[in-house]
């Protein structure tokens, strides 16, 4: 085999007491696409941060084209030829394609930008990507997401990248744009660039990548050629155990109706959603990012404005404020723990009790001791690992943070739990605790709406699953009547086989 363009050997990194990466090695060759697979929290992003110079490793070595590579920062990494295309694009929306591509590497003479030279280079890069149709002088804010992504890729070409990393590049693309992106990646590959491709979608990986490396709990769990490796094999490498014991359930049977939506519509999404939820039921909502599933939950809690339609809880229509909806028995666990779900710089006790301080209050004054005991009890029941109720949430691991968010809706004694991606970014052990908790709650007679883009967990945990796409609730079926593939093609809005 030829010399790899990138070699990472025994790279390690710890954050405080948490080991994020333990001696991970990988090689990326020119002319191939290497898929980096792993669950959230497996260490993919830390590894890529080390590669891109954003984080420096505690141990290990890296080589780029045979030469030692130890970037001092993102800028040094780019200069050395490592380019990252993140899920969230890094463009200045008011600048044109040319300005964005050349940002930080402007061609100039005595401080005067050489516009013609810049345009020539950008046009060349776009030609190389077979997309000479992209306008050069329009602010990129007016581009589609796909074209913005192309501008990012062009930026990588202009710096003459040796390695390009794509981090979940398709999550906000339409199916047609995904096809075009794959063509672009094929071209990059043929020009001798080493491509590292990170994605949750095994189908996509199978389609575009040549080799794979699976990360699990910060270590390389396995690697090999994709041709001849079964999906089940990769999944078991990812989770590190048999899939069946990953989803512990408590038997539960749906009872009377508790929540009824009739034609619920938000500002942009959802459109006209109608369904009924029963006590003791776990109702799954499958959908890709941007399908309107988060907006559905937010409309239910009246966090987003409701345009039309009604929400009935126990047959009554609560007022459209978060407060009234919480009083009526709804509780939401946000998909975004950092910016919405939790006040990161406040204590566990505060975060757990914000939505219901009344049990500890008399005439508006709190009995902090009584609250502390209640919080300790929740910490024990959900086995939240922390130093105590006063600990700041930001010092907890992702899984424990998620448990604090869950404990809040439990303390609130919500009858209807709206869980938005509750297992995102938490370790496998905590995930199965969350699954067990969900079915235990259903067995107690509570109702759960479980939103996820990881369809396997929906099928394993839910009683019924609905698919959302483009803001519409497309189809509701009992979980056993769905397959992963059927969910995906419904979520992608196609009938035929998926890419």
Footprint on this chain of other proteins (rule: CB under 8 A):
16-18, 301, 303, 321-323, 325-327, 332, 334, 339-346, 350-351, 354-355, 357, 361, 364-366, 368, 385-388, 390-391, 394-395, 397, 399-400, 408, 427, 429
CA atoms of 311 and 314, how far apart (whole Å): 10
Helix (H) or strand (E) holding 470: none
Q: How far is the CB of 40 from other proteins (least distance, A)?
A: 16
Burial 109-141 (b: 16+ CB within 10 A, else e): eeeeeeeeebbebbbebbebbebeebeeeebbe
Residue closer to other proteins, measured from CB, 247 or 354? 354
Residue closer to other proteins, measured from CB, 168 or 421? 421
Residue closer to other proteins, measured from CB, 120 or 385? 385
Task: Specify the residue for token string 């693309």.
Answer: 173
SS3 category, 342? coil
Residue closer to other proteins, measured from CB, 40 or 107? 40
SS3 category, 154? helix
List, as one string, the DSSP characters of 397-440: -HHHHHHHHHHHHHHTT-SEEEEESTTTT--HHHHHHHHHHHHH
Residue closer to other proteins, measured from CB, 125 or 396? 396
Helix (H) or strand (E) holding 148: helix 145-158
Task: Specify the residue for token string 């390009």.
Answer: 164
Q: How far is the CB of 226 from other proteins (least distance, A)?
A: 33
SS3 category, 248? coil
Where helices occur in 22-144 by DSSP H, the ranges are 44-51, 74-80, 97-102, 115-128
Q: How far is the CB of 244 from other proteins (least distance, A)?
A: 23
Residue closer to other proteins, measured from CB, 29 or 325? 325
Q: Are the C-beta atoms of residues 252 and 443 closer than 8 Å to each other?
A: yes
Q: How far is the CB of 361 from other proteins (least distance, A)?
A: 5
CA atoms of 352 and 359, how far apart (whole Å): 13
Burial of 84 (0-12, 13-18, 19+ CB in 10 A): buried
Residue closer to other proteins, measured from CB, 173 or 330? 330
Q: How far is the CB of 355 from other proteins (least distance, A)?
A: 4
Residue closer to other proteins, measured from CB, 180 or 408? 408
Q: How far is the CB of 71 from other proteins (least distance, A)?
A: 22
Q: How far is the CB of 351 from other proteins (least distance, A)?
A: 7
CA atoms of 297 and 417, how far apart (whole Å): 10
Q: How far is the CB of 369 from other proteins (least distance, A)?
A: 11
């Amino acid at each position: 085999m030829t010399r790899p363009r990138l070699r990472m050997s025994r790279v390690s990194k710890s954050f405080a007491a948490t080991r994020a990466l333990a001696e991970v090695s990988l090689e990326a060759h020119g002319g191939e696409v290497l898929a980096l697979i792993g669950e959230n929290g497996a260490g993919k992003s830390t590894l890529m941060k080390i590669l891109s110079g954003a984080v420096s490793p505690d141990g290990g070595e890296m080589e780029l084209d045979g030469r030692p590579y130890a970037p001092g920062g993102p800028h040094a990494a780019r200069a050395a030829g490592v380019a990252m295309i993140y899920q969230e694009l890094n463009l200045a929306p008011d600048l044109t394609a040319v300005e964005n591509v050349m940002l930080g590497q402007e061609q100039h003479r005595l401080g005067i930008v050489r516009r013609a030279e810049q345009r020539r280079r950008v046009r060349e890069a776009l030609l190389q990507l077979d997309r000479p149709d992209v306008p050069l002088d329009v602010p990129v804010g007016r581009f589609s997401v796909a074209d913005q992504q192309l501008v990012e890729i062009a930026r990588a070409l202009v710096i003459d990248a040796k390695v390009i990393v794509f981090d979940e590049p398709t999550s906000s693309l339409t199916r047609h744009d995904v096809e075009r992106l794959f063509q672009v990646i094929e071209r990059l590959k043929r020009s001798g660039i080493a491509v590292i491709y990170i994605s949750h979608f095994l189908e996509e990986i199978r389609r575009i990548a040549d080799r794979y490396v699976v990360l699990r709990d910060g270590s390389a769990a396995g690697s090999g050629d994709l041709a001849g490796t079964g999906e089940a094999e990769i999944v078991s490498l990812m989770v590190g155990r048999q899939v069946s014991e990953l989803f512990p359930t408590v038997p539960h049977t749906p009872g009377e109706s508790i929540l009824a939506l009739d034609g619920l519509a938000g500002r942009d999404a959802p459109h006209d959603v109608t369904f009924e939820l029963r006590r003791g039921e776990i109702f799954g909502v499958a959908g890709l990012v941007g399908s309107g599933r988060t907006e559905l939950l937010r409309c239910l809690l009246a966090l987003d404005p409701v345009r039309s339609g009604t929400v009935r809880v126990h047959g009554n229509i609560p007022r459209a404020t978060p407060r009234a909806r919480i009083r009526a028995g709804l509780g939401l666990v946000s998909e975004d723990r950092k910016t919405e779900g939790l006040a990161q710089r406040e204590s566990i006790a505060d975060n757990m009790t914000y939505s219901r301080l009344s049990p500890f209050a008399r005439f508006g004054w709190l009995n902090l001791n009584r609250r502390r005991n209640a919080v300790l009890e929740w910490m024990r029941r959900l086995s939240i690992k922390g130093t105590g109720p006063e600990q700041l949430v930001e010092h907890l691991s992702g899984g424990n943070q998620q448990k604090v968010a869950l404990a809040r809706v439990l303390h609130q004694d919500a009858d209807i739990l709206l869980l938005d991606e509750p297992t995102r970014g938490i370790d496998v052990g905590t995930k199965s605790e969350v699954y067990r908790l969900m079915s235990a709650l259903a067995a107690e007679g509570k109702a759960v709406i479980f939103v996820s883009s990881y369809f396997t967990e929906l099928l394993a945990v839910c009683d019924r699953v609905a698919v959302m796409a483009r803001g519409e609730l497309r189809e509701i079926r009992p979980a056993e009547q769905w397959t992963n593939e059927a969910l995906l093609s419904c979520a992608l809005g196609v009938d035929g086989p998926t890419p």
